[in-house]
Amino acid sequence: MGGGPSCCNLSISPVVYVGKGCNRGCAMGKLLLVVALLSVAGCTQQVVHADTQPPTSSTSSAAPSSSSAAPSVEPSTTTPPPPPPPPPPTPCDITDGACVQLSTNQTWLLRGNKIAHGPFPITSGMPGYNTPIGKFPVLRKVKDEWSKPYNGPMPYSTYFTHSGIAFHEGSLTQPSHGCIHLARGAAATYFSELSIGETVQVVA
């Protein structure tokens, strides 16, 4: 730190003065002493920097955000399809029972003034055996009926006149002798759904 010489500038001469009173052994001892002094005074200079803190960057940027904004979702403008239109009303004025329309060869089962089953296709009486028009109560039901006058099967017969007119399974291409012919599934439905005393209305 001061104005003194650096240890690296020190010079110690290895020359040893040997006096007259010093023999060879004495001179050798002095020489060893000088060598030891030289090794102790070895020049080792260490420079220490006072400021060892690395500089910080003033231009560091913030880390990019790992999450990105979700894209906006436009509300759907698709309108749902309209509900199917209600079935057309039947030509009958009853709210419960069976309705038959002869001119269109159709029949329906009604519950609570709504169509529960149908329309089903039918065939009705041929000329001379016309199916009667009007309102009639269900009189009786015979599942495995046989027609004695016409010698033929009448499955799922549901009678609604005292003259023997009934709903039953029969041909949908050939007219009847006054009964209402239905396909097998429809005849079974009428047989199951219509109760004794319920109304059957037949219109032209």
CATH number of the domain encompassing residue 157: 2.40.440.10
For the chain, the domain total comes to 1
Residue 134 belongs to a domain: yes
Compute CA distances 83 → 80, 86, 108, whole Å.
Answer: 9, 9, 22
Phi, psi of 99 (to 5 degrees): -115, 135
Residue 65 belongs to a domain: no
Residue 153 domain boundaries? 122-198
Element containing residue 152 per DSSP (H, E): strand 152-159
* Average pLDDT of the residues in 26-36: 55
Q: Tens digits of per-residue pLDDT, 113-135?
A: 999 999 999 999 999 999 999 99
| Residues labelled as active-site residues | 168, 179
Instruction: Evaluate if residue 104 carries a pLDDT over 90.
Output: yes
Residue 112 neighbours by CB under 8 Å, 6+ apart: 95, 96
Residue 167 belongs to a domain: yes
Instruction: Evaluate if residue 198 carries a pLDDT over 60.
Output: yes
How far apart CA 28 and CA 89 sit, in angstroms, is 142
Instruction: Evaluate if residue 170 carries a pLDDT over 90.
Output: yes
Work out the number of other CB atoms within 10 angstroms of the CB of residue 190: 27
Compute CA distances 38 → 41, 83, 167, whole Å.
Answer: 5, 112, 139
Q: Is the peptide bond before 119 cis (omega within 30 degrees of 0)?
A: yes
Residue 154 neighbours by CB under 8 Å, 6+ apart: 142, 145, 146, 147, 166, 168, 169, 170, 179
Which pLDDT belongs to residue 78?
A: 85
How far apart CA 197 and CA 12 sit, in angstroms, is 145
Residue 179 belongs to a domain: yes
Which pLDDT belongs to residue 161?
A: 98
Q: Tens digits of per-residue pLDDT, 42-54?
A: 544 443 344 445 4
pTM for this model (two decimals) = 0.59
How far apart CA 64 and CA 68 sit, in angstroms, is 10
Residue 158 belongs to a domain: yes
Tell me which residue of 121, 111, 90, 124 sits closest to 195, measured CA to CA. 111
Q: Tens digits of per-residue pLDDT, 58-69?
A: 444 444 455 556
Residue 77 belongs to a domain: no
